[in-house]
Structure 1
Amino acid sequence: MRRRGRVLASADRALAAAGQASQRGQRRWRHSLRLRLVTLFVVLAVALMAVFVGGMKSALSSTGWREVARPLLVDYMDRVVVELGSPPDVARAQALVDRLPIALHIEGPKVNWDSHPGRSDRRGWFSDRWRERGAPDDPWFVRPTADGHRITFGWSPRMWQHQPSNADWITAVLALGLILLAYALVHKLLKPLDDIRKGADRFGRGDFAQAIPLRRRDELGDLAHRINTMAHDLEGMLDAKRALLLALSHELRSPLTRARLNAELLPDTPEGAAERAALLRDLNEMRDLISDLLESERLASPHAALQREPVDLTALVREVVAEQAEGPQVQLDLPEALPVRPLDRTRVRLLVRNLLDNALRYSAGAPQPPRISLRTEGKGVLLEVRDFGPGVDEAQLEHLTEPFYRTDSARQRATGGVGLGMYLCRLVAEAHGGRLEVRNAQPGLAISALLI
């Protein structure tokens, strides 16, 4: 029974593998324009050949052709019978067989002779075949003589001796060669599509340095030229957008800096101390808001460029925690031998700081302080920051990483910003090829960022 079970399991695995291979082949056929074009050419060629052969066969086997050929064959056979004499001369018959690709069978009262004795197959002597078809006295093949002899005509076996024995294999090889030639021609014809695909991938990444090569002057060449023009226009638009961001950053930060400086110079009187502190707090909040907006705009663009450099993530996390006033209370679960990874130090520092600020802000009154852990996962590293606060409703989890989203009870404006912190964290993780996940840890909220 065990052996039977193993056999059945092996058969199931084989069937599953065959099914997967079939599905991969179908997906490849649907995805490949070359394969579909070659298949279309082959189907059309086979259909045209079938129509041609069927038409010729129908035309040759029609009554009209038979009526045209019948008197010619009858006259030819009558002349052969006359040439053989009465009674038929075996020597003349043999000379006729040696000269022409025909076979003769003579039977009668005086002469009984067969040019190919023992050869009654369909390629040589086939009078038996015609008798089986119910036409023993067909004047095309059987001619009676005046002296009572019967002469039966057929094709000589030597007509087929020079036919190649491997004709089927040669035909198959030639057909396969023609199919491969058609595929090569289609591949060459559609080569610009590969260039266009690679160029579109480069333009999508923001790499406009290399244009799509123009190999031909047909429709595909015109398409490549138009995409190059579009990429050039997009590059100009992106450059203008970057210039606008820089100008906006300078124009907004400069008056904020002056306003903050003027607020610092206000008289330090008991009456104005509270107003000055409130004004400075608002100005700092506006400064942080502008910085977050500009940074989110840069990271949200698919053309954001990371300044990657070797970063010791363990040391970076320790630095960010040490900068916080409540840093000594944070629990750290950090491996000492974590490999150095190419990351954008500034953006990763922003990620860690925002996650830590979020955890500290909502850990007031929690049974234990926040915890930060690091571990490798696949080709990347997973950073997790968990607080032990009240958490959030399950329905709100998927919205926490949206811009300007704030929950409606514990997480109000008084305890947080404008809702860009988590959004920035998600953008930083995605810019590094990873992801940001938020889940209720019961108690508290756990936020994990995968960096690759």
Structure 2
Amino acid sequence: MPATRWPWRRRRRHESALRAHPSTRPPARRQWRRSLRVRLVMWFVVLALVMAGVFVGGMKHSFSTGWGAVAQPLLLDYEDRIVAELGTPPDVGRAQALVARLPITLRIEGPVVNWDSHPGLRQPDFFHRGDGDDAQDRWYVRHSADGHRVTFGWAPKMWDTAPRAAGWRTLGLLLLVVLLVYAAISRLLRPLIDIRQGAERFGSGAFDQPIPVRGCDDLGELAQRINTMARDIQAMLDAKRTLLLAVSHELRSPLTRARLNAELLPESPEGAAEREALLRDLNEMRDLISDLLESERLASPHAALQREPVQLEALAREVVDELHARGVPGAQAVRIDAAEPLPDLPLDRARVRLLLRNLLDNALRHGAAAGQAPVLRLAPAPDGAGVCIEVRDFGPGVPEEQLVRLAEPFYRPDSARTRAAGGVGLGMYLCRLVAQAHGGTLSLRNARPGLAVEAELR
């Protein structure tokens, strides 16, 4: 089937995913920005840079303030000895030998000798700071007895090789430290990730897998307490489900007897209306108890489906005929739209019949005044592993703020449903449970006009 034939399926699947998971994870960029691990590592890097800056600045200030008292006299004495060794006037050969032996540069300026070991070389700015008229007062400028001026400097290799290698080593070491810290923080915060994942499982009703307790620290104690809370909640839910099943089951026998006795009442013209009203109320009670029992069975994590090959289009026509036989207004006008013949699918026939009956009954009741019959669409799932069922009516629809709660148990929007209109708020809830039991989803949208409900079964 062409990909453009059923665009409503892809759009509804996306909307269903958003509604089923309101806390959908943000994009990767935002997720990294919100990650506690990344923020802790960044704070560590900032702290390390600040500490390194403070240390370097303090050491620089310490050396600069103590330079004159400690190192400068030694350098001045050494420079005077080098000037004396050069001779009077300075010997260029000796100067070349000194430059070749020591990591220094020499510049000789005077009345006899003018020589530069590295012509055009400019020393770093901090070394030449203060050059000018007062340069003769600087520690790196010495004068010989015959009027020559000798200027000392560092050799180029001091600035080209050693600092560059040290810089790369420092950068590599910093990256290694950051990776080690990130790994340590990830290990430290792993319990928080376990707790978050466990809270998501518990929120969806999956209590079978507890949160792993990875240590005896505060996070381990927190995980243990959350596991205890989850077990208590599961016990309360199981007790509630057991009580509801027991009460519902026990009510079925007296209700059946009451209905049988009402049907055996002698018919009389004056009591016909009361008899019909009594039977109608008993039928509603019977349907309510049946729906309660079915909802609790389907809500159980161990719900078992009786799967068998089902021809879905034929089953849908059977449900429409059943509604028509029950006297539901407009049932005979329901339009079944199947894009192509569907193969026999392994489904639970009774549960799928319940889903179709509830969806069609809801569409017929709330779209009765529209003058247009509901539409039942059947199509394969987009990935080919299942089927999509959509029922749309052309009634007033449901307010957007109430749409997300429409499949909750016992929920009935006042503007769309009243008790007199039928139903107690379990029909759509049962449809959602049937879809989830088949490994699918149930999504709702306002089709404007009307309400469209899509169930995906797998």
- After TM superposition, give the deviation of residue 320 of structure 1 in Å: 1.5
Task: Work out whether residues 330 and 371 of structure 1, in 8 Å CA contact, stay in contact via their aligned partners in 2.
Answer: yes
Distance 2:367 2:149 in 1: 118
Distance in 1 (CA, whole Å) between partners of 2:242 and 2:370 is 46
Separation (CA, whole Å) in 2 of partners of 1:199 and 1:358? 36
Classify the secondary structure of the residue corresponding to 2:137: coil
Q: Share of identical aligned residues, percent? A: 52
Contact 2:245 2:296 in 1 (8 A): no
Answering whether residue 224 of structure 2 is matched by residue 225 of structure 1, we say yes
Partner of 2:117: 117
Residue 11 of structure 1: aligned partner: none
Cα separation, 1, equivalents of 2:194 and 2:187: 12
Counterpart code for 2:337:
D
Alignment of 1:280-291 (within 5 A): 280-291=279-290
- CA distance in structure 1 between the aligned counterparts of 2:370 and 2:159, rounded to whole angstroms: 99
1:28 is aligned to 2:36: no
CA contact 1:405–1:419 (8 Å) conserved in 2: no
TM-score (norm 2): 0.71
Q: Partner residue of 1:262? A: 261
Note the 1:244-393 alignment, pairs <5 A.
244-266=243-265, 275-293=274-292, 295=294, 307=305, 309=307, 311-324=310-323, 325=325, 330-335=334-339, 337-339=341-343, 345-358=349-362, 372-376=376-380, 378=382, 381-384=388-391, 386=393, 391-392=395-396
TM-aligned CA deviation for residue 74 of structure 1:
3.3
Alignment partner of 1:337: what SS?
Answer: coil
The amino acid that maps onto 1:232 is R
Give the unaligned 5+ runs of structure 2: 1-25
Read off the aligned partner of 2:241 and give its amino acid letter.
R
Q: Deviations over 1:320-355 (max 9, x none)?
A: 223341676654334552255565544432232234
| Maintained 8 Å contact 1:426/1:436 | no
Query: 1:172-202: CA deviations, max 9, x gaps?
Result: 4443333333322322222223322332333
Query: Secondary structure at the residue paired with 1:211?
Result: coil
Equivalent AA in structure 1 for residue 204 of structure 2: R
Determine if contact 2:360/2:391 at 8 Å carries over to the other structure: no
Task: Tell me, in whole angstroms, the C-alpha distance in 2 between the residues paired with 1:279 and 1:152.
Answer: 119
Q: Equivalent residue of 2:153, what SS?
A: strand
- Does the CA-based 8 Å contact 2:123-2:153 persist in structure 1? no
Q: Deviations over 1:54-98 (max 9, x none)?
A: 222233233x53354444433444455556666667777677666
**How far off is 1:137 after superposition?**
0.8
Tell me, yes or no, if the aligned pair for 2:108 and 2:150 is still in contact at 8 Å. yes
Q: What secondary structure sits across from 1:143 in the alignment?
A: strand
Letter in 1 for 2:341: A
Q: Is the 8 A contact 1:429 1:436 kept in 2?
A: no
RMSD (Å) for aligned C-alpha atoms: 4.5
The corresponding residue for 1:179 is: 178
Check if 1:140 corresponds to 2:131. Answer: no
1:46 aligns with 2:46: no
Match of 1:436 among 421, 444, 452: 444
Greater relative contact order, per chain length (Cα 8 Å cut-off, separation 6+): 2
Contact map agreement 1:375 1:382 (CA 8 A) in 2:
yes
1:451 corresponds to which residue? Answer: 456
- Cα-to-partner distance string for 1:259-296 (whole Å, 9 max, x where unaligned): 22333454567776665444333322222233345556
Q: Separation in 2 of the partners of 1:354 and 1:231?
A: 33
Q: Contact 2:381–2:456 at 8 Å: present in 1 too?
A: no
- Give 2:68's aligned residue: 66
Query: Structure 1 residues 264 and 120 mapped into 2: Cα distance closer, same or farther (>3 Å)?
Result: same
Q: Following TM superposition, by how much is the alpha carbon of 1:239 offset from its aligned partner in structure 2, in angstroms?
A: 1.0
8 Å CA contact 2:143, 2:149 repeated in 1 = yes
Residue 222 to residue 135, structure 1, CA distance change in 2 (3 Å): farther
User: Which residue pairs with 2:422 in the alignment?
Assistant: 417
Contact 1:292 1:420 in 2 (8 A): no
Question: In structure 2, what is the Cα distance between the partners aligned to 1:106 and 1:369?
Answer: 107
One-letter identity of the residue aligned with 1:351: L
Deviation of 1:317 after TM superposition, in Å, equals 0.9
- More divergent stretch after superposition (221-230 vs 420-429): 420-429
Helix, strand or coil: the match of 1:215?
coil
Q: Based on CA coordinates, which of the two structures has the bigger radius of gyration? A: 1
Q: Distance in 2 between matches of 1:342 and 1:219?
A: 49
Q: CA deviation at 1:27?
A: 1.1
Letter in 2 for 1:231: A
What is the match of residue 9 of structure 1?
Answer: none
Cα 1:42/1:397, change in 2 over 3 Å: closer
8 A contact 2:103–2:158 mirrored in 1: yes
Q: Distance in 2 between matches of 1:371 and 1:81?
A: 106
Cα distance, 1:440–1:37 mapped onto 2, change above 3 Å = closer
Shift in CA distance, 200/362, structure 1 to aligned 2, threshold 3 Å? closer
Are the structure 2 counterparts of residues 417 and 163 from structure 1 closer, same or farther at C-alpha, using a change threshold of 3 Å? closer
Q: Which amino acid aligns with 1:112?
A: V
C-alpha separation in 2, matches of 1:60 and 1:448: 78
Corresponding letter in the other structure for 2:121: D
The alpha-carbon deviation at position 139 of structure 1 amounts to 5.2
Structure 2 CA distance, aligned partners of 1:24 and 1:366? Answer: 42
1:129–1:250 distance in 2 versus 1, CA, 3 Å: closer
**8 Å CA contact 1:406, 1:412 repeated in 2:** no
1:398–1:117 CA distance, 2 compared to 1 (3 A): closer
